[in-house]
Amino acid sequence: MNSGRIPWGEGHHDAYRRAFNRVTGMVAICEDLPEEHNMVTLDPVLTDSDGIPAPKISYRLSENSRRMLDHAVARGTEILKAAGAYDVATEAPLRLAGWHLMGTARMGVDPQGSVVNAWGRTHDVRNLFIVDGSLFVTSAGVNPTSTIQALALYVADAMKERLASLFD
Amino acid sequence: MGTPTPITAPSTLSAGQRDALRALIGLMIPASAKHGVPGADDERIFADILASAAPIADRVAELLRRLDELADEPFADLDPARREQVAQRLRQGRSSLLMGLVSVVAQCYYRDDRVMRALDMEVRPPFPRGFDVEQGDWALLEPVRRRSKMYRPT
């Protein structure tokens, strides 16, 4: 109804019945390159009730991301039409969907090329541990929450094993 | 299975706002004698919509204010032809407020038992039993399988 394919009013019921049980879809998940124009900073104006600056997310699609989306739409349309679709609607990017912020704090042994060590402790601050999607080096191809949870549990277990020397 | 009672909060819309909302959703999905279904403004369906839209009542109220502004008078007081005109103008604005309301209306309408029966659906939620999906002709994908690779090897 929001796209206009199912009208309001008199034509609604017939149009709905033409589409009912005859609609399918595809989703393509794409990944931005690590582009510096996409960032999370401290908002210069907006704060919470305690005066702490709010996070400010700056994001825009690069040409590479746009081309990936266009490719995904073209291939998806091709597949659906091959399967018999006669009316293909596309939306790219999908506004009302999951957009995950990941990366920028990768694990590694070399502080020159990584932010945290093999068990999530930052190289620069020994009592700081990172346990969220920042540890990802790429965004992967599916929903990241389960993997983020697994990484968080892994870092927590590593901390428990090293309590006596955690900040050494 | 009986109709479950939704967990809801009482509507915070005024009587006038509820009248305007009911008039608007009646235009979205009217009753149909041909298909033997009520409209979205049916008493039972409207009650479900009011309850389900309670978390976004402030946005619905804002939308109804815009509707009255477009009409230059209370929307619920307009004659049917004028209501139709004003509703179309609202729709052309493609506001996210309207899109949110339409989603709630469609969801509530199409889970009404009478509507589901009219669509030859079993009157039950999809979970946990699910539904059998009729298998199509997988040979339709042969042209896709035969085409050349479209990705670089790693």
Sequence-separated (6 or more) residues with CB below 8 Å from residue B151: none
Question: For the residues A67-93, what does the mean pLDDT come to?
Answer: 90
Q: Pick the residue of A12, A67, A77, A86 with the most B CBs within 10 A to test the interface with B by mutation.
A: A12
* B90–A contact, CB cutoff 8 A: no
B30–A9 CB contact, under 8 Å: yes
Choice among A12, A37, A71, A100 that is catalytic? A100
Q: What burial letters (b/e) apply to B89-99, b meaning 16+ CB within 10 Å? A: ebbeeeeebbe
* Facing residue for A20 by CB, picked from B37, B102, B119: B119
> What predicted TM-score, i.e. pTM, was given to this entire model?
0.68
Alpha helix (H) ranges present in A10-144? Answer: 12-19, 63-82
Contact B39, B31 (CB under 8 A): yes
For the question of residue A13 being annotated catalytic, the response is no
Task: Kindly determine whether residue B144 and residue A10, on different chains, have CB atoms separated by under 8 Å.
Answer: no
**Which positions ≥6 away from B7 have C-beta within 8 Å?**
none
- What local confidence, expressed as pLDDT, does residue A37 receive? 94
Helix or strand run (H / E) with residue A46? strand A39-47
Q: Reply yes or no on whether the pLDDT at A116 is more than 90.
A: yes
Give the whole-angstrom CA distance, residue B87 versus residue B67: 7
How far is Cα B60 from Cα B43, in angstroms, rounded to an integer?
Answer: 19
- DSSP 8-state code for residue A3: S
pLDDT over 60 (residue A40): yes
Give chain B's residues under pLDDT 70. 1-11
For residue B11, what pLDDT is reported? 63
- pLDDT at residue number B1: 47
Collapsing DSSP to helix, strand or coil, A47 comes out as strand
Tell me the average pLDDT across A21-38.
90
